[in-house]
Amino acid sequence: MSTCPPRATRRPRSRATTQRRAPTRCRPEGGRARHNDRVIEQGHNRRRAAVTLLGYTSFLLIGWAGVLVPALIRPIEDAFGQSDAGIGVFYLIFAAFAALGQASGGLLTERVGRRTVLVAAGLLLGTGLAALALAPTWAVFMAAAVPAGLGGGAIDGGVNGLFLALHPRPRGGALNRLHLFFAIGALVAPFVAGRLVIAGIAWPAVLLATGVVALAVALFFGIVEMPSGRVEWAASAAVEPSVDPATRPEADGSRSRERRIGIDARPFAFLAVGIGSYVAAEIGVSNWVVRFFDSAPLDVATASLSLFWGGLTAGRLLSSAIADRFDPVAFAAGSVGLAAAALVGAVLAPSVPLSIALFALGGVCFGPVYPMIMVVGGTLYPHRLAAVSGGLGGAAVVGSIFYPPLVGLISVQVGIGAGMLGAGLLSVVCAVALVGASFFARRLSVRPDPAGTTAAGAGPG
């Protein structure tokens, strides 16, 4: 029914009045398009807020879970009669399967969807943590590192890809906020776990409770709507049969694409070297900074580690507010370059307090590097977000496998200070690799989609 009055009852208007005021257009009574659009937008915003909150929770979880075994190393060694060498093998297995989970999770997302992969990852992490808690023998404990590493790695890479899809631009602040929660989890877990054990809580209970939380996160991954991440290979070939399969873009639940990217692997290779070098330096410092201050009292040495992670957390918090104002490559390369200078200064500092302060400053500068490299990858390959985030995450874990054990050998042969200087050198390698990625990225061939459509990226996973 029309809401317009009958023509006979309308008041006649003068020509001047008509010129001053545009005539009112009649609209059907049911035509509440503006209100309905607002309701739809509000519903979309609520769903986006829900998946964002779930992403924060999952990163808080994997940050917490990733340092639980190091935090509980003493009671674990006592329970199974193991030495540092046995724990080192556990770390190696966990890190190797975390890298596999990151890389394979991204590729699987393009085929079966992000939701399926993240649900499976949460179940693997929860099952692995429960198996660690209930393991009757050391062999079972070591075997439990496989599902725990796979699940944690797949969540890491999967949620990075999810946030790249949720925040097409700008991404810097969003990724830094996400990784802030990882840093908070890693910062808080050792303190809380240690206090619980001191209070009389058995260490397996801490792992088991964390496993239950991981299973709950898996449940929510199955409920919350999120961008799919699937790639419609057949549809891509139908649009342009001559396109190489490696260049087919991520559809994210939609067959329309904003642009087609000619894949040049060199920028990705440089990014992989950069993120691997960064993580090698970061974990190298984190694992060995307490040993570096061996001559200082234990509380001072452990405070250096807390301040390093506190600085990293502060760096991500600060970057979440300012990162989008800068070019992501310049911001990441500049940050890691400053971190390199801070690490070298910390090793050469004449006093312990100054050295600790410089390590903390290095943590602040390290803070935005990992998320900003993810931003660069998402910008260069916007239709392969799942594969790119998983591949870069896998390269990062490889860095964590490669250098930290090497620091121990360097310490024995040359001294722990040389190992810390090596972390500074790796930071320089990261900065150079980022510049190289930016240089070769200019060779990417980009042209508009002939249909002129925009990739929606909003299909459920």
Q: Is the pLDDT of residue 23 over 60?
A: no
Of all residues in the chain, the percent with pLDDT exceeding 70 is 77
> 51-60, 95-104, 203-212, 382-391: which has the minimum mean pLDDT?
382-391
- Which of 343 and 245 is assigned the larger pLDDT? 343
pLDDT mean over 205-220: 95
**pLDDT at site 444:** 56
Q: Is the pLDDT of residue 235 over 70?
A: no
Residue whose C-alpha is closest to residue 160's, from 114, 218, 94, 125: 114
DSSP 226: -
Question: Which residues make Cβ contacts (< 8 Å) with residue 27, sequence separation at least 6?
Answer: 3, 4
- Which of 14 and 227 is assigned the larger pLDDT? 227
Q: Is the pLDDT of residue 35 over 70?
A: no
Q: Is the pLDDT of residue 133 over 90?
A: yes
Residue whose C-alpha is closest to residue 251's, from 121, 382, 375: 382
Highest mean pLDDT among 17-31, 191-205, 208-222: 208-222
**pLDDT at site 271:** 93
> 124-138, 203-217, 218-232: which has the minimum mean pLDDT?
218-232
Q: Is the pLDDT of residue 280 over 70?
A: yes
Q: What is the mean pLDDT of the chain?
A: 78
How far apart, in whole angstroms, are the C-alpha atoms of residue 86 and residue 457?
A: 45
Q: Are 418 and 258 in contact (CB under 8 A)?
A: no
Q: Per-residue confidence at 87, pLDDT binned at 50, 70, 90? A: confident
CA dihedral 380, 382, 385, 389 (to 10 degrees): 20
**pLDDT at site 136:** 94
**pLDDT at site 72:** 82
Q: Are 372 and 322 in contact (CB under 8 A)?
A: no
Domain boundaries 53-232+249-446, CATH class: mainly alpha
Q: Per-residue confidence at 25, pLDDT binned at 50, 70, 90? A: very low
Dig out the tokens for 44 from the structure. Answer: 């979309």
What is residue 447's three-state secondary structure? strand
pLDDT mean over 409-418: 84
Q: Per-residue confidence at 455, pLDDT binned at 50, 70, 90? A: very low
Per domain, the residue ranges of the chain are 53-232+249-446
Q: Are 115 and 226 in contact (CB under 8 A)?
A: yes
DSSP 262: E
Q: Per-residue confidence at 241, pLDDT binned at 50, 70, 90? A: very low
What number of other Cβ atoms are within 10 A of residue 79's Cβ? 15
What is residue 261's three-state secondary structure? strand
CA torsion through residues 320, 302, 73, 291, sign = positive
416-441 and 265-292 helices, crossing angle to 10°: 160
**pLDDT at site 358:** 95
**pLDDT at site 49:** 86
